């Protein structure tokens, strides 16, 4: 996710960091690199232009702090503006102060709307709410049946009036059925089309008038880039979108949708889908996403996943070790088994600061098995102090683990980089090498 954008921005910011004195010339060159990185990520040209202008103005008017070099100050400003571009702060579902909460799900066909509706219901169920599902899609074959099956798998009630084929009447029936199911949140999956048309928008307006939703969430395919923002704007003009859910964030998303949609529509991204499984659904945190885009990782999300996958004591131990930056290869080996329970490895790598993988490497949990074999082939002393591992030791470890010396070199290099970056988290550190950028959420 956003790998190409992260790579381009990291290169641009590396040049900025070394600037000892800001001039019009070097600032223009640095911001040009950032702008090109954004455009290459399929960010709207207008959004990219506005972003660069905000960074330029803020950099010009900011007083250079004693703890920051001029280059570091610019990086901090880029970081702050990136958070603002992504929405500023997390935004949950606006629950009704009294009576049931109604959430209207809208979007084009193929964006993953039906499965996302079920995922959101599961998320709300875990939060302690009592959701109910209803499909108002009477056009796509088996759409209503699909939602019924998903609800059954997740233990969530589904209103499924088989004898009604009018979308508005279906929604009205669902509102009355909530009391019998003891539900307090109704999620309405509306019909989509391959492209926006008048009939679909008119139907959405009628449904909205009938159910008077607390939220109108637009389901956007992250793979479509800035086009997602353009389509969202069309929906917004007709039914007023209150939030966005980005789907397929585990795919080859360049970032255009995430970085454009808030500026274009004004509605925040509230959740993101990161896989096909019902539990692969996350609250969207702008600050954490900005950290990942800038190569800082996402330790807070990693810890949260660990808390779900392990017992409380193990999760606390992971948090202490990672925040202190004093873990060794013994600790790392202990965490590997936990990581295997936390989900697909390719989704976790971006959360670990400093951890990079070679391009064209296929990431799966088999990679963890290889790393585990390498560490288990080390002596206790080598695991405790990896810096003693010289050439002859590497040959022995490679033979014992069935790997190549290059594999061992890569692991040790990444582990050293990880420890270095993790030191920035001690005492609430922020951007690596940039004092004063305390991590949000601490």
Q: Rounded to an integer, what distance in angstroms lies between the CA atom of residue 90 and that of residue 22?
A: 33
Q: Give the architecture (CATH level 2) of 3-85.
A: Up-down Bundle (1.20)
Q: What's the order of all strands across the beta sheet hosting 131-135?
A: 158-159, 131-135, 185-189, 101-106, 215-221, 243-247, 269-273, 281-283
Lowest-pLDDT range, 175-189, 224-238, 286-300? 286-300
Query: Residue 57: its pLDDT value, please?
Result: 83
Give the strand pairing for 269-273 and 281-283: antiparallel
Tokens (6 digits) for 40? 């290459």
In the predicted model, what is the mean pLDDT of residues 367-373? 84
Q: Rounded to an integer, what distance in angstroms lies between the CA atom of residue 55 and that of residue 34?
A: 10
Q: What is the pLDDT of residues 141-187, one digit of tens each?
A: 788 999 999 999 999 999 988 889 899 999 999 999 998 899 999 99
Specify the residue for token string 């949260």: 304
Q: Which residues contact 155 (CB under 8 A, 6 or more apart)?
A: 125
Q: Rounded to an integer, what distance in angstroms lies between the CA atom of residue 164 and that of residue 228?
A: 32
Does pLDDT of 215 surpass 60?
yes
Does pLDDT of 342 surpass 90?
no
Does pLDDT of 426 surpass 60?
no
Listing DSSP states for 17-86 in one string gives HT-SS--HHHHHHHHHHHHHHHHHTT--HHHHHHHHHHHHHHHHHPPPPTTS-HHHHHHHHHHHHHHHHT
Query: Residue 253: its pLDDT value, please?
Result: 60
Q: Which residues contact 349 (CB under 8 A, 6 or more apart)?
A: 355, 357, 363
| Domains in the chain: boundaries | 3-85, 101-293, 321-425
Sign of the torsion formed by the C-alpha atoms of 221, 224, 228 and 234 = negative
Phi-psi region of 281 (alpha: psi -120 to 50; beta: other; left: phi over 0): beta
Q: What is the pLDDT of residues 115-138, one digit of tens each?
A: 999 999 999 999 999 999 999 999
- Mean pLDDT of all residues in the chain? 80
Assign domain 321-425 one CATH number from 1.10.3720.10, 1.10.260.30, 1.10.540.10, 3.40.50.720: 1.10.260.30
Tokens (6 digits) for 243? 């939030």
Q: Which fold has domain 101-293?
A: Rossmann fold (3.40.50)
Lowest-pLDDT range, 39-53, 164-178, 331-345, 390-404? 331-345
DSSP 436: T
Query: Residue 435: its pLDDT value, please?
Result: 42
Phi-psi region of 93 (alpha: psi -120 to 50; beta: other; left: phi over 0): beta
């Amino acid at each position: 996710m956003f790998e190409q954008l992260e790579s381009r921005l990291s290169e641009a910011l590396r040049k900025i960091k070394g600037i000892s004195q800001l001039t019009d010339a070097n600032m223009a060159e640095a911001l040009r690199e950032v702008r090109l990185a954004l455009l290459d990520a399929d960010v709207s040209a207008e959004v990219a232009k506005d972003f660069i202008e905000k960074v330029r103005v803020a950099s010009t008017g900011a007083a250079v702090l004693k703890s920051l070099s001029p280059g570091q100050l610019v990086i901090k400003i880029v970081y702050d503006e990136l958070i603002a571009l992504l929405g500023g702060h997390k935004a949950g579902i606006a629950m009704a102060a009294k009576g049931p909460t109604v959430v209207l799900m809208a979007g084009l066909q193929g964006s993953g709307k039906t499965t996302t509706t079920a995922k959101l219901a599961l998320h709300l169920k875990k939060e302690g709410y009592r959701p109910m599902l209803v499909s108002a899609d009477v056009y796509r074959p088996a759409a209503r049946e699909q939602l019924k099956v998903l609800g059954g798998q997740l233990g969530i009630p589904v209103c499924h009036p088989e004898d009604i084929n009018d979308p508005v009447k279906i929604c009205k029936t669902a509102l009355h059925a909530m009391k019998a199911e003891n539900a307090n949140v109704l999620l309405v999956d509306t019909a989509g089309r391959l492209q926006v048309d008048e009939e679909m928008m008119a139907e959405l307006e009628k449904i909205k008038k009938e159910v008077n939703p607390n939220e109108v969430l637009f389901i956007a395919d992250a793979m479509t880039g800035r086009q997602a923002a353009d389509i969202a704007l069309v929906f917004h003009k007709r039914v007023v979108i209150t939030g966005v859910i980005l789907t397929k964030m585990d795919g080859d998303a360049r970032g255009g949708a995430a970085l454009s949609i808030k500026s274009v529509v004004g509605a925040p991204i509230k959740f993101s889908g990161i896989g096909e499984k019902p539990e692969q659904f996350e609250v969207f945190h702008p600050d954490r996403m900005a950290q990942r885009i800038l190569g800082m990782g996402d330790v807070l999300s990693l810890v949260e996943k660990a808390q779900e996958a392990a017992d409380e004591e193990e999760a606390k131990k992971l948090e202490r070790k990672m925040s202190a930056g004093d873990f060794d290869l013994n600790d790392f080996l202990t965490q590997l088994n936990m990581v295997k329970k936390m989900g697909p490895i390719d989704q976790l790598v971006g959360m670990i600061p400093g951890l990079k993988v070679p391009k064209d490497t296929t990431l799966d949990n088999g990679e963890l098995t290889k790393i585990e074999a390498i560490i288990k082939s080390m002596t206790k002393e080598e695991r405790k102090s990896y810096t003693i591992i010289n050439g002859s030791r590497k040959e022995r470890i490679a033979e014992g683990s069935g790997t190549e010396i290059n594999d061992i070199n890569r692991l040790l290099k990444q582990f050293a980089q990880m420890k270095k970056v993790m030191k920035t988290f001690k005492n609430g550190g922020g951007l690596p090498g940039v004092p004063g950028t305390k991590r949000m959420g601490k």
